[in-house]
Structure 1
Amino acid sequence: MTGLRKSPRRLRIGSERGSASVEVAVIAPALIALLGLMIAFGRVTDADAAVDAAAHAAARAASLERDATGAQARARAAAEDSLHGDGVTCQSTDVVVDTSSYMLDVGQAATVTATISCTARLSDIALPGLPGAKTLTATFTSPIDTYRGRQ
């Protein structure tokens, strides 16, 4: 007579058949979305650090020049070199350099300020609700040698 009854253990195991596939089907999209967010956050963080470094490089390069025109050109080149060296590709890059202090007389404290804006692309991550791009901006000010000749 015991051979005709099914044990409670067998019934329980048989009723859970296929539940692992349902769990994976429910959890997988959430894990993929989390992975996409981590990639986007990492990309934005790296690009933000690179834009900050480019602003430092641009302001420093501009402060070493003797005239405003040379400072503008050198700052743009330094910013582009810095971004390229860090492996950051911007959809658009804007370099603004304030060289108005070059008009001050020698002996007066003067500075050069560089502002870099970079639009980082996020559209290739293909995560719903994620913006297609993010604009990152950094500013840095570097002193000009007080007693060096300026033009």
Structure 2
Amino acid sequence: MKSRRDERGSASIEAAIGVPAFALFVGLIIFGGRTAMTHGAVESAAADGARSASISRTNETARAEAESAARSSLEAQGIDCLSVTVSVDTSDFDVPVGTPGTVQVTVECRLNLADLAVPGVPGSRIITASVSSPLDTWRERS
């Protein structure tokens, strides 16, 4: 018959191994959720920017409207980026009326992950999305 003394300390060992593993698991779940949520928000911001740019009349207005709409969309969704870059391709504003064209908006968000402190997870990650929207083929452009 075994005595109970053989199992002494096993709970401490289990805790020493299990607690950090559980914390790592939770950190990775938070990392995945935060990244997925931010990616969806960045895609939505790019779509908002592209739509705003596509209904503008001029190249300069399209750029300004796209950037404003994209930044407003990220802010409204509560996404806290370390930095946001909005690139707008309005080269199709130069094509003649009657020729199909698009405007493309690319939004880049540097997501802060420094608070997670999970091994292997960088302090920040860049999330990028590009969306294009058609220009009205028969509307005057300048």
Fold similarity call, TM over 0.5: yes
Letter in 2 for 1:86: Q
In structure 1, list runs of 5 or more residues that go unmatched: 1-7
State the Cα RMSD in Å. 1.2
Q: Which runs of 5+ in 2 are unaligned?
A: none
Match of 2:23 in 1: 32
Per-residue Cα deviation, 1:52-97 (whole angstroms, up to 9, x for no partner): 1111111111001111111001000110011112211111111110
SS at match of 2:19: helix
Moved >4 Å (runs of 4+): none
Using the TM superposition, give the Cα deviation of residue 24 of structure 1 relative to its aligned residue in structure 2, in angstroms. Answer: 1.5
Structure 2 residue aligned with 1:67: 58
The correspondence of residues 1-151 of structure 1 with structure 2, limited to 5 A, is: 8=1, 11=3, 13-151=4-142
Structure 1 residue 99: deviation in Å? 0.7
Q: How many residues align?
A: 142
Query: Between the two proteins, what is the percent identity of the paired residues?
Result: 42
Q: Distance in 2 between matches of 1:28 and 1:132?
A: 23
Instruction: Give the superposition deviation at 1:17.
Output: 3.2
1:18-66 CA distance string (max 9 Å, x none):
3223211211111101111111111111111111111111111100111
Q: Which amino acid aligns with 1:45?
A: A
Return the TM-score normalized by structure 2.
0.94
Corresponding letter in the other structure for 1:78: A
Aligned partner letter, 1:125 = L
Counterparts of 1:35 and 1:70, CA distance in 2: 45
